[in-house]
Amino acid sequence: MKADPEAQRRLLDLQAIDTAIGQLEHRVKTLPEHALLVEKQARRQALGQELVAADTVLSDATNAQTRAEADLVPVRERLARDQKAVDSGTITDPKTLTSMVDEIAHLTTRISTLEDEELELMEAVEAAQAARDRLAAERGAVEDEMRALIASRDAAGKDLQADVADRQKARATVLADIPGALVDLYEKVRVRAGGTGAAALQGHRCAGCGLEATQSDYDRYISAPADDIVRCEECDRILVRADA
Ligand SMILES: [Zn+2]
């Protein structure tokens, strides 16, 4: 293939723009926010599961406290009834009176025990509530961090995309200076060669693969007519000669 030497040199401008676009697109894909968001999302999910478990603990504790409260009601009522009967002075039979006083003592002890238990259960409810609140607050904080990361990712992405758009415009200008067939060849080689389709010959070295040409290859490169498209023997990229 042949092409005007100036068009060949423009190929290097095109390559520089394409390399820059590739780097910008890579930066969009590898913004640190992406990895951090994945991390935060995992943490948020874990906290969500912990929160479900904490809710269960809280609801169990609340139920136990309610049951303890309910258990106390009939015992207190019975004590009040007994106390009232004794205080009324209507029980005249000494045996009945003694057994009633015994029962009052027993009920009083029982109530004291139940109240102690209820107090412990109340403390358990408070502890469960506090644990639940801590988890909810932590999840809220993680969600705040995620919102900030999303905003920062989008802002950075927008800047980079704007940069890409600028370079696409410049690319269109450069493209106008290069014949379509040469652009097609460049694109084909670029896909095959990991993003670099055209490279300068710097001294004996191909800037694409970084290898030095053998003397005979080099001689062939520089003795080829200026409008010849020369390909690197090592990497097959389009080799643009400085004086091409
Ligand atoms: Zn090469």
Per-residue pLDDT, averaged over 170-189, amounts to 98
DSSP state, residue 193: T
CA of 190 to the centre of ligand 1 (A): 12
Q: What is the mean pLDDT of residues 88-108?
A: 94
SS3 content of the chain, % helix, strand, coil (to 5): 75, 5, 15
Identify the three-state secondary structure at position 4.
Answer: coil
Distance of CA 135 to the CA centre of its chain: 19
pLDDT of residue 241: 96
pLDDT digits (tens, 9 = 90+) for 47-66: 999 999 999 999 999 999 99
Is the per-residue pLDDT at 126 higher than 70? yes
CA of 209 from ligand 1 middle (Å) equals: 4
Distance 211 CA to ligand 1 centre (A): 6
pTM score of the predicted model = 0.74
Q: What is the mean pLDDT of residues 219-234?
A: 97
- Cα of 60 to ligand 1 centre, how many Å? 72
What is the distance in A from the centroid of ligand 1 to the CA of 199? 7
pLDDT at 244 over 60: no
Which domains does the chain show, CATH number per domain?
5-24+179-241 (no CATH), 31-175 (1.10.287.1700)
What is the separation, in whole angstroms, between the first and last Cα of the chain? Answer: 14
The neighbourhood of ligand 1, an ion, using CB within 5 A, equals 206, 208-209, 232, 234-235
Mean predicted lDDT score pLDDT of the chain = 96
Q: How far is CA 231 from CA 6, 8, 58, 174, 185, in A?
A: 17, 12, 74, 21, 11
Between β-strands 238-241 and 230-231, what pairing exists: parallel, antiparallel or unpaired? antiparallel
Number of Cβ within 10 Å of residue 169's Cβ equals 10
Instruction: Tell me the CA–centroid distance for residue 183 and ligand 1, in Å.
Output: 18
Where does residue 170 rank: exposed (0-12), middle (13-18), buried (19+ CB within 10 A)? Answer: middle
Q: What is the mean pLDDT of residues 67-91?
A: 95
Rounded CA-CA distance 129/62 in Å is 10
CA of 198 to the centre of ligand 1 (A): 9
What is the edge-to-edge ordering of all strands in the sheet holding 238-241?
A: 205-206, 198-202, 238-241, 230-231
Distance CA 199, CA 236 (A): 10
How many A from CA of 231 to the centre of ligand 1? 8
- CA 238 to ligand 1 center in whole angstroms: 8
Quote the ligand 1 centre to 201 CA distance (angstroms). Answer: 9
Which pLDDT does position 242 carry in this prediction? 85
Tell me the mean pLDDT in the region 93-109. Answer: 95
Q: How far apart are CA 60 and CA 40, in angstroms?
A: 30
Nearest to 201 by CA among 212, 192, 216: 212
Cα distance between residue 187 and residue 103, in whole Å: 100
The region of weakest confidence among 20-24, 89-93, 141-145, 183-187 is: 89-93
Rounded distance from Cα 220 to ligand 1 centre (Å): 14
Percent of the chain's residues with pLDDT above 70:
99
**SS3 state at 212:** strand
Q: What is the mean pLDDT of residues 169-174?
A: 98
Report pLDDT digits (tens) over 25-35.
Answer: 999 999 999 99
